[in-house]
Amino acid sequence: MREVHDGGDVSYEGEIFQLGGLKYDRTPPENPPAIDIAALGPKATEMTGRFADGWIPQLFTPDSLRERFEDLRRGADLGERDPDDLRVAPILRCFAHEDRDHARNVMRRMIAFLIGAYGPFYGDSVAEQGYEETVTTVREAWADRDMAAMTAEIDDDLLDSVAAAGTPEEVRERVREFAAIDGVDAVRIGFAADMDNEEKRGTMRYLSRQT
């Protein structure tokens, strides 16, 4: 992306990938776009620290996020960069609702889908954070396309570790917890796929009262 912005023409001959003939024939914008990477694993996070402008992790527990910062900082050191210059904004999927059970059940389905059906990467990442048995069972249920069984495997511990769902105050407290992690610049609010527009707006209204 940076080469396209700087020169408009990119060729690359690597050991694994080759790229030729990519030409950007429009006038590049005056300011290059920031490149933020949604890395999960240690090597990808290290490369994010070495080359990218920001990091957007998702489905991390607070403790696991703190540990992964070591990879980000190592990458920044390898690139001779100041890690404080990297913008870190984890995605925290949130559903704040007066009907606590409804919010939590909807979010359970979302987490189950992400770790079971959304490719291997989220599931692998969550398994490495101490939930290997849950991920295995969720994937087995997905093989049968049994969404109810998948959802039932997301217990309160996992739900509350990687997402924020429940009463408005519960969700606000979870956002505060992630925002307080050393090195986090902002928390990106995500949603669950089954939330309707009013539920999304309601969640944002509740979170706008964040202190």
CA distance 203 to 93: 11
In a shared domain, residues 161 and 83: yes
* 116 and 20 fall within a common domain: no
pLDDT of residue 23: 63
Give SS3 for 81. Answer: coil
> What is the Cα–Cα distance from 126 to 111, expressed in whole angstroms?
10
Q: Rg (Cα) of the chain, in Å, rounded?
A: 19
Chain centroid offset of residue 151 CA: 20
Q: What is the pLDDT of residue 25?
A: 64
Same domain (yes/no): 12, 88: no
In angstroms, rounded to a whole number, what is the distance separating the alpha carbons of residues 134 and 126? 9
Q: State residue 33's pLDDT score.
A: 84
Question: Are residue 73 and residue 116 in the same domain, yes or no?
Answer: yes
Write the DSSP symbol of residue 84.
G
Mean pLDDT by 10 residues, the chain (211 residues): 65 79 66 91 98 98 98 98 96 98 98 96 98 98 97 98 98 97 98 98 91 47
Cα–Cα distance for residue pair 53/81, rounded to 1 Å: 11
Vertex 194: Cα angle to 210 and 119 (nearest 5) = 100
pLDDT tens across 83-99, in order?
Answer: 999 999 999 999 999 99
The pLDDT assigned to 95 comes to 99
What's the rounded Cα separation, in Å, for the pair 55 and 39? Answer: 7
Residues 83 and 17 in one domain: no
The predicted pLDDT at position 13 comes to: 80
Q: Do residue 29 and residue 104 come from a single domain?
A: no
- Extract the tokens encoding 122: 């989220």
Number of structural domains, the chain?
Answer: 2
Angle, helices 168-179/197-208, rounded to nearest 10 degrees: 60
CATH number at residue 53: 3.20.20.30
Look at the block and give the residue holding tokens 């997402």.
163
- Host domain of residue 108: 35-211
Q: How many alpha carbons fall within 13 Å on the CB side of residue 26?
A: 3
